[in-house]
Amino acid sequence: MLKMTPALETDDVTCVFQVSQGFMKGIKPLRAVNGVSLKIPKGQVVGLVGESGCGKSTLANILLGLQKPTTGDVRYNGESAASFNRKDVARRIQPIFQDPYSSLNPTKTIASIVSLPLRIHQTCAPEEIDGKVHDILDLVGLPRRVAQSYPSQLSGGQRQRVAIARALIMKPEVVICDEPTSALDVSVQSQILNLLQDLKAELGLTYLLISHNLAVVEHMADRVAVMYLGRIVEEADSETLFADPRHPYTKALLDSVLTPDPRLGVPDTHLGAVFPNPIDPPSGCSFHPRCVSCMDICSRTAPKQDVDGPHMTECHLFGAEVKTPEPAI
């Protein structure tokens, strides 16, 4: 495999917030991101899957330059983020957010919203701005007269297209799609997903697709990383992950995907009603209180990464340490 510099890379990034526990109760550290090393190769779609509290939003903020990691390094095309200022980062990597209703400023016209990056970075002459706005609106499938409208006049799907136009007008290398279709109707979701795929091919983009919808991730992503309480617990090529999920959390996630098959019912994922708390994480493997296959060692030591070619799993069930056979699930 050709070893190319990934477009975006995090190297053992950790982000700790100091959170007040309430009046007179002191401050506790919250490890939102706990030693994450993620490579996003150029031209690929990497899916990041996880539920609330897993740290994916914090990681996205770190990648966008909105949040400084406590330790660790972020590299853009091999160069460390420390050598970039905010505008350089902005030119390379742009976000698309989940909520089309709050991601556009309601007091500005679409033209003003979409052209803002051009005006901030002053990459082109003021006369050219209108032309570029029209070009990008064409590219995302919006009629040109939308430029003079306000966000309140558009539907959710149209607004998300505007958000995409805004993200792409400066031709960034990497786009971070944070749940881009979760707030949209099903029929609009597929339109937007198709658009994202077309644009990736046409503009040679690299995506980090953050989503809790595994069906969407499986469809769009080349590689998938599963995040739990700040760590990546499994990472593999999309096909491999869905055919052969190894980590018990990944299995539970996959079981929870409800495909429209009328013959199947709703599976019992055996996860229990325990609430994973990032301020007070469980000892050892942070998943062990909810794990079906929990063993003694799981509550004592954190598991090491088991790298099996392109498939990485962080679980005591895998790797050289496992001597006893797997307990029946």
Partner 1 sequence: MTDAALPLRGQQTAEEILEPSPFSKLRKRIFKNHSFLIGALVLIVIIAMALLAPVFEALGWIHDPYEQDLASRLMNPFWHQAKVSEEHLLGTDKVGRDYLSRLIYGAQISLLIGFSTMLISGFIGTVLGVTAGYFGGRVDMVVNFIINTRLAMPVFLVAMAAVVAFGASLLVVILVLGLFLWDRFAVVMRSITMQARDLDYVKAARAMGCSTPYIIVREIFPNVIGSLTVVATVEMANAILLEAALSFLGFGVQAPTPSWGLMLNEGREYMFFSPWMLALPGTCLFMLVLAINLFGDGLRDVTLERER
Partner 2 sequence: MSGDLILDVQNLKVDIPVSAGMLHPVRGISFSVKRGETLCIVGESGCGKSLTSLSLMGLLPKTAIRTADRLDFLGQDIRNLREREMAALRGVNMSMIFQEPMTSLNPAYTIGNQLEEVYLRHIERDRRKARDRAIFLLEKVGISSAASRLGQYPHQLSGGLRQRVMIAMALMCGPDLIIADEPTTALDVTIQAQILHLLAELQREFDMGLILITHDLGIVARVADKVQVMYAGKTVEEGPCEAVFDRPLHPYTSGLLKCIPVPGKTQRGAPLGSVPGIVPNLVGDLQGCMFRNRCEFAMAGCATLGDEPTRMDDGHAYTCLRPPEMALEPAE
CB neighbours of 85 closer than 8 A, spacing ≥ 6? none
86 and 261 Cβ atoms separated by less than 8 Å: no
The 3-state secondary structure of the chain, one letter per residue: CCCCCCCEEEEEEEEEEEEECCCCCCEEEEEEEEEEEEEECCCCEEEEECCCCCCHHHHHHHHCCCCCCCEEEEEECCEEHHHCCHHHHHHHEEEECCCCCCCCCCCCCHHHHHHHHHHHHCCCCHHHHHHHHHHHHHHCCCCHHHHHCCHHHCCHHHHHHHHHHHHHCCCCCEEEEECCCCCCCHHHHHHHHHHHHHHHHHHCCEEEEEECCHHHHHHHCCEEEEEECCEEEEEEEHHHHHHCCCCHHHHHHHHHCCCCCCCCCCCCCCCCCCCCCCCCCCCCCCCHHHCCCCCHHHHCCCCCEEEECCEEEECCCCCCCCCCCCCCC
187 touches partner 1 by CB under 8 A: no
* Residues between 267 and 286 that touch partner 2 (CB under 8 A): 267-269, 271-273, 275
From 31, 166, 288, 316, residue interacting with partner 1 (rule: CB under 8 A): 166
Smallest distance from partner 1 to CB 165, Å: 12
Computed over its alpha carbons, how large is the radius of gyration of the chain? Answer: 21
Smallest distance from partner 2 to CB 227, Å: 12
Binding mask 95-124 for partner 1 (x = CB under 8 A): x-xxx-xxxxxxxx----x--xx--xx---
145 touches partner 2 by CB under 8 A: no
Smallest distance from partner 1 to CB 3, Å: 30
Interacting partner of 269 out of partner 2, partner 1, none (Cβ under 5 to 8 A depending on kind) = partner 2
Smallest distance from partner 2 to CB 226, Å: 12
Smallest distance from partner 2 to CB 189, Å: 7
218 touches partner 2 by CB under 8 A: yes
Interacting partner of 168 out of partner 2, partner 1, none (Cβ under 5 to 8 A depending on kind) = none
84 touches partner 1 by CB under 8 A: no
- Is the Cβ of residue 64 or residue 252 nearer to partner 1 in the bound state? 64
Smallest distance from partner 2 to CB 200, Å: 10
251 touches partner 2 by CB under 8 A: no
Interacting partner of 216 out of partner 2, partner 1, none (Cβ under 5 to 8 A depending on kind) = partner 2
The residue behind tokens 């491999």 is 240
Question: What is the size of the binding site for partner 2 (CB under 8 A)?
Answer: 47
277 touches partner 1 by CB under 8 A: no
User: How far is 118 from 116, CA to CA, in rounded Å?
Assistant: 5
Applying CB under 8 A, the residues found at the interface with partner 2 are 51-52, 155-157, 185-187, 189-191, 193-194, 197-198, 212-216, 218-220, 238-239, 242, 252-253, 255-269, 271-273, 275
Applying CB under 8 A, the residues found at the interface with partner 1 are 64-66, 86-87, 89-91, 94-95, 97-99, 101-108, 113, 116-117, 120-121, 140-143, 145-146, 149-150, 152-155, 157-158, 163, 166, 191, 194-195, 198
